[in-house]
């Protein structure tokens, strides 16, 4: 159940990530479309979706890269609360690269190439998590099946043992009853009796009757 809940969480995160990505992009677009914009908006070579692919970049008029990364991260964190370790690592890389490209230390093309490698790594980690969870669910189901089979065997065995004990107990009780009856009968036969005798004179003889 824990593995299945984690699998469901990853699937839900995908939908949340997509919504957060579009919200962040809308926020960034509004920063450059407002009449009193406070950001230096220029053409930036930007990924156009949050899909796993890395060949969907276009030049879009947006604020500096550091602002772009900040908005995407804050929007996603507000939507998710906490991120997975590889997502945190990807944002750390994005901030480092954004700072360098905004400072002119690297070109936008260099930013794209380095960032793409981090993006591919992040998605590979997500896939590893997904595959591992699938394996865990399969193993858990097999373990559950084996557990229930073992429990079933134990219950059947226990029932057999309990039945044998009850039969044996009944037999023992019956034997005890029979033995007690026989002993009682024997004791009754060997029990000394009080005999009362009365003598009657009958002519020259005496007759004795005993009860």
Q: Please, what sign has the CA dihedral across residues 66, 72, 76, 79?
A: positive
- 192 vs 88: CA distance, rounded Å: 102
Quote the percentage of the chain above a pLDDT of 90: 42
- Let me know if residue 153 belongs to a domain: no
- DSSP letter for 105, please: S
Average pLDDT over the chain, rounded to whole?
Answer: 77
- Let me know if residue 97 belongs to a domain: yes
Confidence of residue 13 (pLDDT cuts 50, 70, 90): confident
Q: Is 15 left (phi over 0), alpha (psi -120 to 50) or beta?
A: alpha
3-class SS at 62? strand
- Summarize pLDDT for 101-152 with one digit per residue, the tens: 999 999 999 999 999 999 999 888 887 776 666 666 666 666 555 555 554 5
- 190 vs 85: CA distance, rounded Å: 94
- Let me know if residue 169 belongs to a domain: no
- Let me know if residue 130 belongs to a domain: yes
pTM, to two decimals: 0.60
- Let me know if residue 154 belongs to a domain: no
- Let me know if residue 199 belongs to a domain: no
Note down the domain range covering 64.
Answer: 2-144
Across residues 192-201, what is the average pLDDT? 60
Q: Looking at the 3D structure of the chain, how many domains does it have?
A: 1
74 against 35, higher pLDDT? 74
Q: What is the DSSP string of 121-165?
A: HHHHHHHHHHHHHHHHHHHHHHHHHHHHHHHHHHHHHHHHHHHHH
- Let me know if residue 171 belongs to a domain: no
């Amino acid at each position: 159940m824990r593995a299945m809940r984690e699998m469901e969480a990853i699937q839900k995160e995908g939908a949340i990530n997509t919504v957060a990505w579009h919200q962040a992009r809308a926020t960034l677009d509004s920063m450059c479309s407002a009449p009193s914009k406070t950001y230096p908006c220029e053409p930036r070579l930007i990924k156009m979706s949050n899909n796993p692919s890395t060949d969907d970049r276009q030049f879009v008029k947006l604020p500096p890269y550091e602002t772009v990364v900040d908005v995407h991260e804050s929007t996603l964190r507000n939507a998710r609360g906490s991120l997975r370790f590889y997502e945190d690592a990807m944002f750390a890389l994005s901030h480092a690269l954004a700072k360098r490209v905004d400072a002119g230390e690297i070109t936008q093309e260099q930013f794209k190439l380095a960032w793409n490698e981090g993006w591919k790594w992040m998605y590979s980690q997500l896939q590893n998590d997904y595959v591992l969870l699938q394996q865990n669910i399969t193993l858990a189901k097999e373990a559950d099946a084996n557990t229930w089979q073992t429990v079933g065997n134990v219950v059947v065995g226990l029932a057999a043992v309990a039945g044998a004990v009850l039969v044996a107990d009944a037999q023992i009780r019956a034997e005890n009853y029979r033995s007690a009856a026989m002993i009682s009968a024997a004791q009754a036969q060997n029990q000394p009796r009080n005999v009362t005798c009365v003598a009657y004179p009958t002519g020259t003889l005496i007759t004795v009757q005993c009860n």
